[in-house]
Chain A
């Protein structure tokens, strides 16, 4: 089996679309959690092919987008120091802080490097014992095992020049925050397949129960997404609630338990700020105190940071599904990927970037 062809099969996609048109009788609002899913939806034009009653709203599952501005400013302050090698996933380089981005720090002589894995950052630390190497450990549950593994490796290697700046967010508390809001419109969720590949989906039945909604674990290819939507609409139309795994080739209920155990040894759950949304209790992971030596926030003096958000960016409302990117007055005008006012216009998982890139021609 190839890993893409079957799940981009036009005939299978068409069958799912036809079935959706056949069964849909009422208006439904469904949120896809993950920004990767948002991009696939726009990239393949999935939203154009759905019955008009089905509205997809885009969730907060874009790690770059929800990373607090203060933390980005901290990253920029660290990266600008001499004798620092600042490493990051490529996505983060263009995200604007209050005044700058990592690209401009690099242009001004900062040593900012893109890595594909935090383990590469550990290698850089090994090869440059006279420099401090910092990795910007952002992401949801999906990136946590690799980020944590880099700490364990650095510790085993006896490295004292490696640390991480942690911005690690958790999906289930964000779902609670969205569903518990008095303005909530979401009636069904497509849960993020990659997150569930690590965490399983045992955390979701209580959420489905509490808010009386269907939740469908969904993949990222067009056929995956259409099947996720079909499963969710079937449940909604039938008045069923509960959790369905529509991504079984990758996800099981318990998830990757060895990975979960490793995460627990290094991280602990903590309250967390979400950019544009605010504080969500118990919605992130932080380094446990015994790993202070690897905690960039404790290693560097960053008390002088003062942040300033763009007053016209509505990323927070977009990330909670209240508004669509093209309903923002700044969309495509003051705010473009070249001149982003918020992270949602920058990241390859940001909803505004997806709309700009694939659909800004739509009337």
Chain B
């Protein structure tokens, strides 16, 4: 006779409690609970073939067009944000888009991504599942496949809820030469939309603004827009996403890398009025507030109009605008023509952004 359940007689070792609602230390043990976590939360949504095989590595193909030519661009990024969910996105979408955008800025096609999770003991499973679903949706939109992953559980108090690391690979065809070092005097500088939406949305969600701000994060995967730009403007010199540090810091990096100066016009800078108002109240400058769904393009002047149009035709580039140009003088500096006709330096962000006193 076989029994579905063992018969309990006398004092027995109690069955361990099955934790499906909260992350416990056992989920990081590498044992069965870890396997259940991987199966129920991750593989149930990340059903990519290389991942489902279950090896310690993801075994992946080069795209057919690669034909053993071109290069790979690789990037890795850690993601921690408070709160985990905010208007316009969450840490999961951030983790995918951040890395997709980083590798896509090479002009390449994002192929594969790995994801590592540090979970705090006690973190709720249903919230984790929502984050994973959001990652899946962002991966689908961008077309990148999640092919390897890892999970560790940290004791309560030694990690803040959830940290995600993602690494990505993109294939870059041979004919592209894109990078901060390639900006040339005479090039035009185009930004794909309004500045600072993400930073202000997160500050607002934290309750740090002290007032309501109706603004959503701009988080988005930009790889499709990049391919659309390259179709009409194949000689792009630079793509860069102005994330932490904002556009001001990004342009400084490019000016230093290329030993050129970048000149921008204050009256061309696109800023959402809500972001502008929040910045005025706090003494922030939208040039230094983080973006997660914007890119800056630097391209030869003769391709600028085509690139601009391609950006404006994409849902994430509707407010794209040419903001300035690249020059030879003052190498390594970013200069801004002010609203009233003066000229000033645009510095890199030094450290933490601090609100002013009065």
Q: Chain A: residues with CB nearer than 8 A to chain B? A: 3-4, 8, 10, 13-14, 17, 36, 42-49, 63-64, 89-91, 93-94, 103, 114, 116-117, 138-140, 142-143, 194, 222, 226, 337-338, 348-349, 356-361
* Cross-chain contact of A194 among B339, B352, B354, B358 (Cβ < 8 A): B358
Q: With A and B bound together, what is the CA distance between A194 and B351 in angstroms?
A: 28
* Contact partners of B335 in chain A: CB under 8 A: 361
Contact between chains at A10 and B280 (CB < 8 Å): no
Contact between chains at B344 and A348 (CB < 8 Å): no
> Which chain B residue shows the least CB distance to A63?
B357
Contact between chains at A94 and B280 (CB < 8 Å): no
Contact between chains at A49 and B340 (CB < 8 Å): yes
> Which chain B residue shows the least CB distance to A13?
B340
Contact between chains at B354 and A93 (CB < 8 Å): yes
Q: Is B210 positioned at the interface, with any CB of A under 8 Å from its CB?
A: yes
* Cross-chain contact of B341 among A10, A89, A114 (Cβ < 8 A): A10
Q: Is B7 positioned at the interface, with any CB of A under 8 Å from its CB?
A: no
B195 to chain A, nearest CB (A): 16
Contact between chains at B342 and A89 (CB < 8 Å): no
Q: Is B302 positioned at the interface, with any CB of A under 8 Å from its CB?
A: no
Q: Chain B: residues with CB nearer than 8 A to chain A? A: 208, 210, 267, 276, 280, 282-283, 330, 333, 335, 338-345, 347, 350-352, 354-358
Given the known A-B contacts A4-B280, A94-B351, are A139 and B357 also in contact in the complex, defined by CB atoms under 8 Å?
yes
Contact between chains at B340 and A222 (CB < 8 Å): yes
Contact between chains at B345 and A90 (CB < 8 Å): no
Given the known A-B contacts A4-B276, A116-B210, are A44 and B357 also in contact in the complex, defined by CB atoms under 8 Å?
no
Contact between chains at A117 and B210 (CB < 8 Å): yes
Query: Can you list 10 A-B contacts (CB < 8 A)?
Result: A4-B280, A8-B339, A8-B340, A10-B340, A13-B339, A44-B339, A64-B357, A93-B354, A116-B282, A358-B344
Q: With A and B bound together, what is the CA distance between A47 and B342 in angstroms?
A: 8
- Chain A binding surface SS class: helix
Q: With A and B bound together, what is the CA distance between A338 and B198 in angstroms?
A: 26
Task: A10-B267, A89-B357 given; name 8 further pairs at CB < 8 Å.
Answer: A8-B340, A13-B340, A36-B358, A46-B342, A93-B352, A116-B355, A349-B356, A359-B345
Contact between chains at A90 and B342 (CB < 8 Å): no
Contact between chains at B357 and A143 (CB < 8 Å): yes
Contact between chains at B345 and A91 (CB < 8 Å): no
Most chain A CB inside 10 Å of its own CB: which residue of B210, B333, B341: B341
B84 to chain A, nearest CB (A): 21
A269 to chain B, nearest CB (A): 20
Contact between chains at A49 and B341 (CB < 8 Å): yes
Q: With A and B bound together, what is the CA distance between A233 and B340 in angstroms?
A: 20
Q: With A and B bound together, what is the CA distance between A222 and B283 in angstroms?
A: 16
Given the known A-B contacts A94-B351, A359-B345, A360-B345, are A45 and B340 also in contact in the complex, defined by CB atoms under 8 Å?
yes
Q: With A and B bound together, what is the CA distance between A107 and B350 in angstroms?
A: 17
Contact between chains at A143 and B358 (CB < 8 Å): yes
* Contact partners of A36 in chain B: CB under 8 A: 356, 358
* Contact partners of B354 in chain A: CB under 8 A: 90-91, 93-94, 114, 348
* Contact partners of B347 in chain A: CB under 8 A: 356-358
* Cross-chain contact of B342 among A44, A139, A357 (Cβ < 8 A): A44
Contact between chains at A142 and B340 (CB < 8 Å): no
Given the known A-B contacts A3-B280, A337-B350, are A43 and B344 also in contact in the complex, defined by CB atoms under 8 Å?
yes
* Contact partners of B338 in chain A: CB under 8 A: 43-45, 222
Q: Which 7 interchain pairs have the tightest Cβ spacing?
A: A45-B342, A90-B354, A13-B340, A358-B344, A142-B358, A44-B338, A90-B355
